[in-house]
Amino acid sequence: MRVDSRHVLAAALAGALLGCAVPDGLLDDKPCPCADGYRCEAGRCVPGGSADAGMDAGAPDAGRDAGVDGGPTRDAGSGDGGQNGGQDAGDDGGAPPTDAGPSGPVAAWSCEAFAGAVVPDVTGHGHDARCDAAGCPTIVPGRVGMACDFGPEDRRLRVSYDAAFVPEAPGDALTVALFVRPHGRSASSAVSVPYGTMTANTWQVHLPIPGGEITPRFVAVDATGITGLPATTTIPHDVWSHLAVTYEAGARRIYVDGVLSAEVVGEPVLADTHDLLIGADENAGAVTLPFDGAIDELRVWDRRLTDAEIAALASE
């Protein structure tokens, strides 16, 4: 359901440029609220158009191929195993897009464009990521097509809890893969599922920066407490790198640029029902470890990908 922004923000928007920093809850599953004379582009209100202009999927930029006829598409196979070239979000009223990547992830966010105030789940499974906290990330050129840049303003995306994101039963497995381009020089969280009210996570792709270099970690909580599996390889600032973490039967692995970097066995993770967060972490409802950088081609599988599959993802 759309919000009539002329009644909500008309006074605040008069003659001014606004992004999507609005009261908590207003953006949930709603378009960017713009007044008359403004339109929504990449989650921000900019001059031109009317209150409803740019709200349809793909309208933030006709060239970003989120279901807009005539816009350029991403190369077939470049990020989705050849599925529809551009992973269109709502392609001319046709069937939902097919699964992206090897054997179909349960969720995938390509950050090609916003559909209102959400980044669509391009698998068609409905796990759309909605803008949260300080507002929407910015759509920027990515590793494949476009990407989400979170900046240093505590922006993040929230995805409602789903059991597929949490390896709860003994036989459950998980793979999380993404491209990252970190800008900042402080520790941050790229993607996570928080645990309880502690400073802990069921799982987290964490980017601490000891000595100025970025050493990715696969952080989780098990029966002994918070455990961090550090990679043996560092990644640079402002350069695209591929990270992947896998979990299966108490074994955790972390991959950097398609190569297995570290692994540990015998540490079963503890499950929780928190939402999945992209671009930050959360402790007792408070934003922590905001990610100052860009994320592209984030995907989650409910199985452990093979080394070969992860290497193929990193080479896209």
Please list the pLDDT of the chain residue by residue as tens digits (316 residues). 433 433 333 333 333 333 334 444 434 444 445 455 545 565 555 555 543 333 333 333 333 333 333 333 333 333 333 333 333 333 334 434 444 456 689 999 999 999 989 999 999 999 999 998 778 999 999 999 999 999 877 789 999 999 999 988 778 999 999 999 998 778 899 999 988 766 788 899 999 876 678 999 998 887 777 888 999 999 999 999 999 999 998 899 999 999 999 999 988 888 888 899 999 888 877 788 889 899 999 999 999 999 999 999 999 8
Do 30 and 83 sit in the same domain of this protein? no
Do 81 and 29 sit in the same domain of this protein? no
The CATH number for 104's domain is 2.60.120.200
Domain count, the chain: 2
Residue ranges of alpha helices (H) inside 104-193 are none
Comparing C-alpha atoms, which of 49, 73, 54, 48 is closest to residue 63?
A: 73
**Long-range CB contacts (within 8 A, 24+) of 23-27:** 27/117, 27/130, 27/131, 27/132, 27/135, 27/136
Residue 60 lies in a domain: no
Determine phi and psi for 278, rounding to 5 degrees. Answer: -115, 125
Do 81 and 43 sit in the same domain of this protein? no
Domain range for 20: 5-47
Do 93 and 40 sit in the same domain of this protein? no
